[in-house]
Amino acid sequence: MPPPSPVPVRPFAAQPFNVMAKPTGSICNLNCTYCYYLEKAKLHPDNYRHQMTPEIQERFIRDYIESQPTEVVQFVWQGGEPTLLGLKFFQRAVELQRKYANGKTIENALQTNGTLLNDEWAAFFAENKFLVGISLDGPREIHDAYRVTRNNRPSFDAVMRGVECLTRNQAEFNTLTVVGAHNMNQPREVYRFLKDIGSRFLQFIPLIERPGRPQDLPLKLAGPPHPGDGDTYDQVTEWSVRPSAYGQFLITIFNDWVKRDVGRVYVQIFDVALNAWVGNEPPLCVFRRECGSALVIEHNGDVYSCDHFVYPQYRLGNLMNTSLGAMAKAPDQYEFGRAKSATLPRQCRECDVRFACNGECPKHRFLSTSDGEPGLNYLCAAYKKFFHHIDPFMQVMAHLLERQRAPAEIMTLIRKGKMPQK
Ligand code: SF4
Ligand code: SF4
């Protein structure tokens, strides 16, 4: 392993931050078995309208652009299902972004289940250069295991129609694949399928939820452990991924990718790992030493610490009273982000792959270490195995990069038998 080298980190107050917008709150036209966000509707009164108003939309766009210290400002629209708001909402969003851009470059990414897309949406995305993330868990049988409509009907065909519209209109898209009990043992099928439909940017998200306890009511899922509070309730739902399977899932896909697809297919976790091996801070919150710069704004202007922590105790305020910049730099938010490293158990602090893992997300830290210390990540075994496995390859690719050569050259080295054949 390369030693973790010190990385210059900007002072907290000068760091850019991201705000993921949920303009429909948790409302969605699907009813995926595993969704952790659908039940957030219970945190609002009945008959409540989950829709970002024009006033909040305009304030958000203006404030977010003004608050960013960078020349490029990226908007991320998510849900629930954001396309439920209709195209007009996003046409207006683009107009408002132009109005308030003030010379900055504005980018948009939108995460969708894809089922409501048509040629009109796709043409809009292409024209306005939206990066569209499609939630797709694999081939039909895998995808339909949990991603179902409100009438419990499969959604695969509707998603694929959406993908065809995007392809036909040359709108850029990538895929987000939730890895759980339904696909954790079929990594090859999932990877091939995603490549076959034209995805060249793949994100894999481990599915980990704990069933709710009495204190979690009215929610059916348990809230995340608060960093450092010693929560070691370690039951997981039947649809959650198992650590050993997740490690093997990543390894299997990595083995295919490193032989054939480096430089051609972008798999987020491999790219993030390469950054770590090069000596950079991993560019994804879950693998960074500290986090706290990925906020969420709900449809009503409420702002929360993170998408995984949309609970009343993590509410930072409301956009209509407080600026995004003030909420992002608030002491509570600083402490939230700092806790990611401050509460790491000794096993993580002394771990040889800490530079790449950093204990992953605090939401998943509900195991005890071998010596009984709380705060170990549920996926520890997966990451340890995966990061050890990729180490020789990452060292070679990092070395190539250092010499200003393409990491893709590793594929030639493997073909010539100069790397271990895995
Ligand atoms: S709590 Fe987890 S998902 Fe949220 S910002 Fe921190 S690492 Fe990222
Ligand atoms: S691999 Fe395990 S011990 Fe090492 S940093 Fe990650 S969670 Fe901690």
- Tokens 């600026």 found at: 323
Report the candidate in 361, 369, 366, 367 with the shortest Cα–Cα distance to residue 337.
361
Ligand nearest to the CA of 20: 1
Decide: 25 in ligand 2 pocket, CB within 6 A: no
| Ligand 2, atom nearest to 348 Cα | 8
Distance 284 CA to ligand 1 centre (A): 9
Using CA atoms, how far apart are residues 38 and 25, in angstroms rounded to an integer? 9
Burial (0-12, 13-18, 19+ Cβ within 10 Å), 116: middle
Per the rule left: phi > 0, alpha: psi between -120 and 50, beta: everything else, 375 is left
Instruction: Calculate how far, in angstroms, residue 246's C-alpha sits from the geometric centre of ligand 1.
Output: 19
In the residue annotation, 157 being an active-site residue is answered as no
Q: Which of 256, 307, 352, 391 is catalytic?
A: 307
In this predicted structure, what is the pLDDT of residue 45?
A: 64
Residues 183/142, Cβ–Cβ less than 8 Å: yes
Instruction: Measure the CA–CA gap between 175 and 275, rounded to whole angstroms.
Output: 21
Report the nearest-CA residue for atom 6 of ligand 2.
359
**Contact 286 CB / ligand 1 (< 6 Å):** yes
Cβ-based neighbours of 349, under 8 Å, separated by 6 or more = none
Ligand 1 binding pocket includes 308 (Cβ within 6 Å): yes
Residue nearest to atom 8 of ligand 2 (CA): 348
Ligand at shortest distance from the CA of 357: 2
Q: Would you say the pTM of this structure is higher than 0.85?
A: yes
Q: What is the pLDDT along the chain (422 residues), one digit of tens a residue?
A: 543 443 334 444 456 799 999 999 888 888 888 887 777 776 666 666 789 999 999 999 999 999 999 999 999 999 889 999 999 999 999 999 999 999 999 999 999 999 999 999 999 999 999 999 999 999 999 999 999 999 999 999 999 999 999 999 999 999 999 999 999 999 999 999 999 999 999 999 999 999 999 888 888 899 899 888 889 999 999 999 999 999 999 999 999 999 999 999 999 999 999 999 999 999 899 999 999 999 999 999 999 999 999 999 999 999 999 999 999 999 999 999 999 999 999 999 999 999 999 999 999 999 999 999 999 999 999 999 999 999 999 999 999 999 999 999 999 999 999 886 55
What's the pLDDT score for residue 11?
43
Closest listed residue to residue 142, CA positions, set 151, 133, 155, 132: 155
Crossing angle (nearest 10°) for helices 268-278 and 243-260: 80
Residue with tokens 């980018």: 107
DSSP state of 55: H
Instruction: Kindly give the distance from the C-alpha atom of residue 114 to the centroid of ligand 2, in angstroms, as a whole number.
Output: 35
Spatial separation of the C-alpha atoms in residues 108 and 161, rounded to whole Å = 22
| pLDDT score recorded for residue 6 | 37
Q: What is the pLDDT of residue 2?
A: 42
217-254: burial string, b at 16+ Cβ within 10 Å, e else? eeeebbbbbbbeeebeeeebbebbbbbebbbbbbbbbb
Residue 266 token pair: 């972008």
Edge-first strand order for the sheet with 294-298 is: 266-267, 201-206, 173-179, 130-135, 105-112, 72-77, 18-22, 294-298, 302-304, 315-318
